[in-house]
Amino acid sequence: MRFSIAEENTALAEAAGDVLAKQAGAERIRAGWPGGSIGSVDAVWRTLAGVGVTAALVPESAGGLGLDENALAPLMETLGRSGLPVPAAEMVAVGAPLLAAAGAPQLPAVLDGSALLTVSLSPGAPVPFATRADLIALSGDDALRLYTRDEVRIEPVSAVDGSRRLGRVIPRAGAGLVLAAGAVAAGEARRRGVLATSALLVGLSERMLELTVDYVRERRQFGVPVGSFQAVKHALADVALAVRFARPAVLAAGWAQAAGDPEADVRTAMGKVLASDAARTAARTAIQCHGAMGYTTEYDLHLYAKRAWALAADWGGPAEHREFIARRLGLAGAAGDVNEGAVT
């Protein structure tokens, strides 16, 4: 039996891809780093909002497109390929649906791209894009709350990917709008965040593989293209294989969430493990195959590699998700010896 993505679930990704192909090159990613022209990034995001990206999972009754998680994976993969420095997973997959469910008055500004929204469901952890977000949703002791910039104090945090603009967020006592309360709502939001991040990683992996294949075709050594060397071919084949295994796992996680499959948690965790591993393999191999050029941090490849390293550890790294899967399989403790450092 052959499976394929339904046309209605790829239409938004294709529309976003058209915008990104015209407006979002490496210079847009670099503009998101400190000292860059962040206004150019915001302009692209407003254009994407205009084609419905921010409204993907928002019900039609709230001004959205009414799509489900089957459409989320292709869309996030497209955004991942571009490397555009925006909180796509936090805003599209988590924040906007939560605002819609709560009837938050800030939703229209998020949907039209005039307000940047970020989310963190890990209390105390650095929040991505906190230093430039207009709205920040945080998980607290009793509920998930939405804060405006004047309701919080933000302390910048350095990161491997400077375009993520990390910050520690300290809310003002008694402030914030309650978006959701209870473990069920938080669990659904987290699953969507993990799914979206996994798809972003698949897109990033594809982009790094594409850049490297193009490079080794042109770079010559001993009078022949570097890509003709067997060691290079095998290394890039391993990356292509890792991506091919990751993509269907991520799509399956999207289907499971949309269908309410009782194994959605496990499928989502599997997708994150494979996508994170694929992205790390792609980044390492791409840098190695570029040789000395690959180790130059000013080279465009690092814009994608640094994002991949950060997202591979975000929303739970591979070790955390492997341990969760092991527990669900009754293998508690089997993955407990894995030690994985966080990358932000």
Burial class (CB in 10 A: 0-12, 13-18, 19+), 4: exposed
Is 4 inside any structural domain?
no
Return the structure tokens found at 29. Answer: 């990613």
Q: How many domains does the chain have?
A: 1
Please give the residue range of the domain that contains residue 188.
183-328
**CA distances from residue 56 to 29, 51, 65, 101 in whole angstroms, order as listed:** 23, 10, 5, 14
Nearest alpha-carbon partner for 321 in 250, 261, 272, 255: 272
Is 153 inside any structural domain?
no
Is 238 inside any structural domain?
yes
Residues 171-187 have pLDDT tens digits of 999 899 999 987 888 89
Instruction: Give the domain CATH number at 198.
Output: 1.20.140.10
CA–CA gap between residue 34 and residue 25 (Å, rounded): 17
The set of residues, in sequence order, having a beta carbon less than 8 Å from that of 255 and lying 6+ positions away, is 69, 70, 261
Is 111 inside any structural domain?
no
- The mean pLDDT of 98-106, rounded to a whole number, is 97
The set of residues, in sequence order, having a beta carbon less than 8 Å from that of 52 and lying 6+ positions away, is 12, 15, 64, 65
CA within 13 Å, CB half, 289? 34
Task: Say what percent of the chain tops pLDDT 90.
Answer: 81
Indicate whether 339 pLDDT > 80.
no
Q: What is the DSSP string of 199-259?
A: HHHHHHHHHHHHHHHHHHHH-EETTEEGGGSHHHHHHHHHHHHHHHHHHHHHHHHHHHHHH
CA–CA gap between residue 200 and residue 63 (Å, rounded): 25
- The mean pLDDT of 35-41, rounded to a whole number, is 93
Indicate whether 78 pLDDT > 60.
yes
Indicate whether 343 pLDDT > 60.
no
Indicate whether 221 pLDDT > 90.
no
The predicted structure's pLDDT at residue 3: 65
**Residue carrying structure tokens 């022949």:** 224
- The mean pLDDT of 82-107, rounded to a whole number, is 97
Residues 312-334 have pLDDT tens digits of 999 999 999 999 999 998 986 65
Give the DSSP H/E element, type plus range, for residue 12: helix 7-23
Residues 188-220 have pLDDT tens digits of 999 999 999 999 999 999 999 999 999 999 887
